[in-house]
Amino acid sequence: MSKTIVHLGLDPAKISGWDVAQPRMGFFTDTSLCIGCKACEVACKEWNEIPEDGLDWLGISYDNTGSLGASSWRHVAFIEQAVPGGRTDTPSSASALDGSDLRWLMSSDVCKHCTEAGCLDVCPTGSLFRTEFGTVVVQDDICNGCGYCVAACPFGVIERRTGSHGTKNVGLAQKCTLCYDRLVSGMTPACAQACPTESIQFGNLSELRSRARRRVEKLQLDGNRAARLYGDDPNDGIGGAGAMFLLLDQPEVYGLPPNPVVATRELGQMWKQAGIAALTFLIGAAAASIER
Amino acid sequence: MAECHPVGFQWVTEAKKRGAKIIHIDPRFTRTSALADQHVSIRAGSDIALLGGIINYIIENEKYFEEYVLEYTNASTIIQSDFKDTEDIDGLFSGYNPELGAYDNESWGYRGIEEAAAAGARELSVNDQEHQISMHGGQGAAHKIGSQGKSLSDISIHSDRTLRDPMCVFQILRRHYSRYTPEMVERTTGIPQGAFLEICRAVTENSGKDRTTSWVYSVGWTHHSVGVQYIRGAAIIQLLLGNIGRPGGGILALRGHASIQGSTDIPTLYDILPGYLPMPSASMTAGLKGYLESLMAAKQKGFWANLDSYMVSFLKSYWGDAANPENDYCFSYLPKINGDHGTYRTVMDMMDGKVEGYMIFGENPAVGSANARMQRLALSKLKWLVVRDFNLIESATFWKDSPEIATTELETSDIATEVFFFPAASQAEKDGSFTQTQRMLQWHHKAVDPPGDCRSELHFFYQLGLKIKELLKDSKNPRDYPIRDLTWDYPTTKNGEPVAEAVLKEINGSHLAGEKKGKLLASYTEMKPDGSTSGGCWIYTGVFADGINHAAKRKPGQDQSWVAPDWGWVWPANRRILYNRASADPDGKPWSERKAYIWWDEAQAKWTGHDVPDFEPSKAPWYRPPDDAVGPDALAGNDPFIMQADGKGWLFAPAGIKDGPLPTHYEPQESPVTNALYAQQKNPARQVFKRSDNLSNPSAPAEGYEVYPYVFTTYRLTEHHTAGGMSRFLPYLSELQPEFFCEVSPELAAERNLRPGGWATIVTARTAIEARVLVTRRIKPLRIDGKIIHQIGLPYHWGVGNQALVAGDSANDLFGLTLDPNVHIQESKVSSCDIQPGRRPTGPELLNLVASYRRRAGITQDTGNELATNYEADK
């Protein structure tokens, strides 16, 4: 399956049977421009009518959202760290009292809308589907809350919503829809619309990808050697993401898996191995019975 | 800026993309620092030492823009020989009166105009409280002082264009800042010399004919007992570097609300009328003529010469046909001031039982004002209180859930204040305008009807006015005439909502007689002093020129020139950059191709360029006024600062500033640091209030200061808005920052056993509050004069109450009231405190804790309130 997709030039909508001339749409989140204002989180919740999920102070820098989840479809991470390798232009009289070696990374995380989407692959009801934009969306009225998708996501994005009785969509699997309802009306997703610094960019995925590559090259030329793209490679474990990121450090620093692999990719191989194992077992059992 | 103005910050990221270098100077490493090229940590309250250091660097290294300084500033002007600098009297300027704690600025004047200046000085004399009041208030003060040009009109100014005369402004400036060396900057501010020199290099390398630098500030600069002088410090730097009146230059004030600029233009301040016309004072007995004479010289230079037109048009817009030449255009109807009627004075009067009723609109003083505890106690002494807000804010519910109920200082059953709550419409539920920091008016259209009983401010005031007028319509009492005769006839729509554009038209002004009768004014230059024009705010005239609401213009940037004149409307005259004559050289040519903005077009014999020239269109660069010229004619063709009587940018302010002609580093009202520059510890002209409900911590070097050894500062977070009235009631914002916390360095956490995620109690002479502990390397200890000084950061969004989704102690409870003498702004960006691990006591025990600290520090009402340090000794 994955091979087919790569061959088709990353157009999961087409192989899902959509017969429309609609380019694949996605996000490019340039974390080097993020100011951590969380407008994306708020705009997302406003548009998608997501319930407030806890007035808890976490004490983790300025992050009181914690992680992506059923009621947080955008999550801004705040990472306070020493600049890797220190600053080269530190003034001579700077001492430990000078904070010039400090940096504060901010990054707005979101569902990756994978080319090979584990959640979609395992959904038994057909609630999760591939849209004409190439995005992956849950249909609330079909989801039965089985939760298979939750285990299948290599990023831990999709979750079943918890909450008291009466909470909207409680018990159902919930995640970013890339504002499918806005896209069909030709609108920009709420988060990208609200982002004041163009850290979240929305558009034609192939165009975004080339923009992202130009941007990372520029940052590297400017001396930001650790700058890298994440989720842009169609040959990675998810066939490339529909939401890619420009990071300034290793993915783990942002809480992202370094080499995400869709669990279902190895399904054929797993069945094969399971078959071999079963066969081996049967042969063994047969041999044992013969020996007996 | 990224923290509090994230939408505006997009232009900083845009500039950065184009190669601009961004330096962020702040006690804390914030979201702005994260995106800046360089963050510089500074001790809160020490910025004048930094700015003075930069001035010293510019002068000593000859980095100033020589031609600009010589031609466009008062650098060459000679000051009176009896002027004494702070270098001469160890931290005081000449003219200090220790009894009044105030300056007589007679000796600060220009030489050659002693006699006239003395007359001016009587006006400015601070021992006359009424005049003192009439002299300040936002921009009005400076402009008005510029208009005090009677002293400059008759006698020519002495100057030395070689800038060598020891009494010329340039030399006084050089001497004043000569000790603000990189070493002194480091000792005082905690900024390492290397980092300081990096700032100096960046600022000077990016200034000159081809480049400009801008300074952007917010209340971190204004909420100080020397706040006005902070801005003056930046103004001196910008004038020295030629960064005023040019694209990419300037000093940009970021406002805390969408229309703070608007609320000084059409003021909510007590001491000015719309358009910065001074409010008459009770001592002015000579009517309109006397008022105008006191403000304008017969031979007035500059554009304030037309003050009479602005004032009469203003009176005509208030009182219409009732205002005529025979009755002085109803000038006597205007309220008169006879003292300080500022917000803090009023609250103290409330405490003392002198105020019966109070109206609060879109403010939450029980949480957001300094000494918020005093605010709440004062509210409990009122007879009635009107609160107009979206939500039942703490200022509306103090009578049942304020912290003073918990401490048993207040009992609900004892509070007689009758509270009226009026639900307010939001900006999306009404038409209106915002005026932002660039002086740009932007119209907003109603998107939906306000829900339920919510109404706009226009509705409230208009309907209230109608009711009061109805009650007074038959009154024979002269004191009621101003209301009886008031024009009050706006067209209304649904529910009696006034048409907002009708109000804007009234502000714009109209022709009342002649050919154009009934037509809207196109420009304030059409205003007449004879009652034939009206206009509610002269600087806004033109916003409705030709019957078009220019504030509603929204032509996209790509469809117009880069100056974008068709996006909103900027006062005055849709001019985007003030004093833009300075963008051209004395001969009227652009300083450089790259920075070309306004220039003299020889062929057309007029000023032209990308913006509306801030100069008389056909006045040639080489025009020199005849000796007897008055008004605008008295300004030369190379005088860009057209609102100043001498047409020059003021490096040295001979008048208009109460606490000195040059910014000087003084320590805050409460500081654990001794002033390293002068024996004078604090601003000797600051406004102090010796009251039992306004005690101060001792400052170094006085005894007891070490009881409050730490510096704290307050600020906003992106997730909330000011005192929380608009954010703590919203789930999507409250969940992002649900609790009050303090930010401390790992070093301070270790010193005081503060556990990350635990609680801390912060104590000042006023009270003690509790906060969750956020330990972060973004706050770092500073080395000040060889000693480690810790700073604590406190966001001030939370308050104690039962209505909001999230509550918490208010950081503003920690502050006392000490004010800047020019504008009565409180020092609420720096104070001293102690911090201890754990939660604060509750009930009366809280009061005991605060009292035990006061005892240990030996605090009385006099503590910290001595104005001149060792004044006699220094004399």
- Check pLDDT > 90 for residue B300: no
Q: Are B699 and B708 in contact (CB under 8 A)?
A: no
Read off the pLDDT of each residue in B464-477 and give the average, rounded to a whole number.
97
| Lowest model confidence (mean pLDDT) among A13-27, A146-160, A237-251 | A13-27
Smallest CA-to-CA distance from B475 within B485, B463, B488 is with B485
Q: Does B783 touch chain A (CB under 8 A)?
A: yes
Position A85 confidence tier, pLDDT thresholds 50, 70, 90: low
Chain A touched by B183 (CB under 8 Å) = no
What ranges make up the beta strands (E) of B78-151? 96-97, 102-103
Name the residue in chain A with its Cα closest to that of B193.
A93
Residues 6+ away with beta carbon under 8 Å from A267: A121
Contact: B192, A55; criterion CB under 8 Å: no
Parallel/antiparallel/unpaired status of strands B23-25 and B38-40: parallel
CB-based contact A99 B7, cutoff 8 Å: no
- Tell me the C-alpha distance between B871 and B867, whole Å: 9
* Residue B731 contacts A, CB cutoff 8 Å: yes
SS3 readout for A131-180: CCCCCEEECCCCCCCCCHHHHHCCCCCCEECCCCCCCCCCCCEECCCCCH
Q: Contact B6/A197, CB-based, under 8 Å? A: yes
pLDDT recorded at residue B590: 98
Q: pLDDT tens digits, residue range A18-40?
A: 988 899 999 999 999 999 999 99
Q: Report strand pairing: A159-160 vs A173-174.
A: antiparallel
Tokens of A231: 């989720």
Predicted local confidence at residue B351, as pLDDT: 97
Q: For residue range B756-792, list pLDDT tens digits in order.
A: 999 999 999 999 999 999 999 999 999 999 999 999 9
- Partner-chain contact B737 A62, CB within 8 Å: yes
pLDDT at B685 over 70: yes
The token pair at B534 is 């009206």
Q: Does B523 touch chain A (CB under 8 A)?
A: no
Q: How confident is the model at residue A281 (pLDDT cuts 50, 70, 90)?
A: confident
Does B197 lie at the interface with A, CB-CB under 8 angstroms? yes
Measure Cα distances from B121 to B77, B95, B116 in Å: 19, 11, 9
- Which residues, 6 or more positions from A238, have their beta carbon under 8 angstroms from its beta carbon? A112, A114, A115, A116, A117, A118, A154, A231, A260, A261, A262
Mean pLDDT of B791-805: 97
Does pLDDT of A95 surpass 70?
no
Determine the average pLDDT of the residues in B746-754.
98
SS3 B45: coil
Enumerate domains of chain A plus CATH numbers: 2-81+101-261 (3.30.70.20)
What pLDDT band is residue A88 in, cutting at 50, 70 and 90? very low
Instruction: Report, as an integer, the average pLDDT of B322-345.
Output: 94
Instruction: Tell me which chain B residues have a C-beta less than 8 angstroms from the C-beta of A33.
Output: 13, 35
Chain B residues within 8 A of A197 when measuring between CB atoms: 6, 9-10, 13
Whether pLDDT at B172 is above 60: yes
**Exposure of A28 in the CB half-sphere (CA atoms within 13 A):** 25
Q: Which of B123-137, B469-483, B622-636 has the lowest mean pLDDT?
A: B123-137
* A19, amino acid identity: D
CB contact under 8 A, A35 and B9: yes
Using an 8 Å CB-CB cutoff, list chain A residues near B33.
104
- Mean pLDDT estimate for chain B: 92
The pLDDT of residue B151 is above 70: no
Q: Are strands B791-795 and B787-789 parallel, antiparallel or unpaired?
A: unpaired
CA angle B216, B259, B497 (to 5 degrees): 170
Say if B748 is an interface residue toward chain A (CB within 8 Å). no
Contacts of B293 by beta carbon, 8 Å cutoff, 6+ apart:
B286
Q: How far is A36 from chain B (nearest CA, A)?
A: 7
Element at B384 (helix H, strand E): strand B384-389
Query: Residue B821, preceding bond cis, omega within 30 degrees?
Result: no
pLDDT at B301 > cutoff 70: no
> Could you tell me if residue A156 is left (phi over 0), alpha (psi between -120 and 50 degrees) or otherwise beta?
left
Domains and CATH numbers, chain B: 9-72+177-253 (3.40.228.10), 687-874 (2.40.40.20)
d(CA B659, CA B652) in angstroms, rounded, equals: 12
Q: Could you say which residues from 677 to 696 on chain B have a Cβ atom under 8 Å away from some Cβ of chain A? A: none
DSSP codes of every residue in B626-675 = -TT--BGGGS-TT---TTSTTSSB-SS-SSS-TT-SS----B-SS-SS--
- CB–CB contact A100 B741 (8 Å): no
User: Backbone phi, then psi, for B217, in 5-degree steps?
Assistant: -135, 170
3-state secondary structure chain A: CHHHHHHCCCCHHHHCCCCCCCCCEEEEEEHHHCCCCCHHHHHHHHHHCCCCCCCCCCCECCECCCCCECCECEEEEEEEEECCCCCCCCCCCCCCCCCCCEEEEEEEEECCCCCCCHHHHHCCCCCEEECCCCCEEECCCCCCCCCHHHHHCCCCCCEECCCCCCCCCCCCEECCCCCHHHHCCCCCCHHHHHCCCCCEEEEEHHHHHHHHHHHHHHHHHCCCCCCEEECCCCCCCCCCCCEEEEECCCHHHHCCCCCCCCHHHHHHHHHHHHHHHHHHHHHHHHHHHHHC
Which of B1, B736, B775, B777 would you mutate first to test chain A, the one with the most A CBs within 10 A? B736
Work out the average pLDDT over B272-292. 91
Q: Do A42 and B736 touch (CB under 8 A)?
A: yes
Contact residues, B window 48-67, toward A, CB-based 8 Å cutoff: none
Whether A37 and B732 lie within 8 Å, measured CB to CB: no
The predicted structure's pLDDT at residue B155: 47
Q: Which helix (H) or strand (E) holds B715?
A: strand B710-715
N- to C-terminal Cα distance for chain B?
44
Q: Which residue of B lies nearest to A95 if distances are taken between CA atoms?
A: B192
Name every chain B residue with its beta carbon within 8 A of the beta carbon of A80. 776-778
pLDDT band at A84 (very low <50, low <70, confident <90, very high): low
User: What mean pLDDT do residues B677-693 have?
Assistant: 97
Residue B737: its chain A contacts at CB < 8 A? 57, 62, 64
Q: Classify the C-alpha dihedral B607-B613-B617-B618 as positive or negative.
A: negative
**What is the per-residue pLDDT across B384-432, written as a single tens digit (0 to 9) for each?**
999 999 999 999 999 999 999 999 999 999 999 999 999 999 999 999 9
| CA–CA min distance A274, chain B (Å) | 47
Percent of chain B with pLDDT over 70: 93
Roughly how many angstroms between the first and final C-alpha of chain A, as a whole number?
A: 45
- Across the interface, whether the CB atoms of A80 and B778 are under 8 A apart is answered yes
Provide the pLDDT confidence category of residue B525 given band limits of 50, 70 and 90.
Answer: very high
Helices (H) and strands (E) in chain B, counts: 28, 26
pLDDT interval class at A83 (50, 70, 90): confident
Residues of B in contact with A41 (CB under 8 A): 732, 736
The answer to whether residue B131 scores a pLDDT higher than 60 is no
Q: With contacts defined as CB-CB under 8 Å, which chain B residues touch A51?
A: 731
Report which of B578, B576, B584 is spatially closest to residue B638, judged by C-alpha positions: B584
pLDDT per residue as tens digits for the range B64-111: 999 999 999 999 999 999 999 999 999 999 999 999 999 999 999 999
Nearest to A57 among B190, B738, B776 (CB): B738
Closest residue on chain A to B11 (Cα): A197
The pLDDT of residue B284 is 80
- For residue B486, is pLDDT > 50? yes
Give the C-alpha separation, B112 to B122, whole Å.
18
Q: Which residue in A has a C-alpha nearest to residue B197's C-alpha? A: A91
CA distance A30 to A197: 10
Q: What does the pLDDT look like over A195-233, one tens digit per residue?
A: 999 999 999 999 999 999 999 999 999 899 999 999 999
Structure tokens at B599: 């220039």
The closest of B549, B443, B458, B447 to B495, measured between CA atoms, is: B458
Q: A104–B195: do the CB atoms touch at under 8 Å? A: no
Residue of B nearest to A62 (CA): B737
Query: Could you tell me if B785 and B771 are in contact, meaning their C-beta atoms sit under 8 angstroms apart?
Result: no
B363 interfacial to chain A (CB closer than 8 Å) = no
pLDDT surpassing 50 at residue B207:
yes
CB pairs under 8 A between A and B: 130
- Give Cβ neighbours of residue B814 (< 8 Å, ≥ 6 apart): B712, B762, B764, B766, B767, B769, B794, B831, B833
Instruction: Classify residue B91 by its DSSP letter.
Output: T
- CB-CB neighbours of B376 under 10 Å: 27
This complex has an ipTM of 0.91
Longest dimension (CA), chain B: 81
Structure confidence at residue B505 (pLDDT): 98
Q: Chain A residues within 8 A (CB-CB) of chain B? A: 33, 35-39, 41-42, 45-46, 51-57, 59, 61-62, 64-65, 80, 82, 90-95, 97-100, 102-106, 196-198
| Strand pairing category for B418-423 and B384-389 | parallel
Distance from CA of B278 to the nearest CA of A (A): 40
- Average of pLDDT values for A251-277? 86
B696: Cα separation from own chain's centroid: 24
Please tell me the predicted confidence (pLDDT) of residue B298.
Answer: 58
| pLDDT at B867 > cutoff 90 | yes
Give chain A positions within 8 Å (CB) of B20. none
Q: For B160, phi and psi rounded to 5 degrees?
A: -130, 105
- Two structure tokens written together for B757: 């995620």
Neighbouring CB atoms inside 10 A of A275's CB total 10
Q: How confident is the model at residue A292 (pLDDT cuts 50, 70, 90)?
A: low
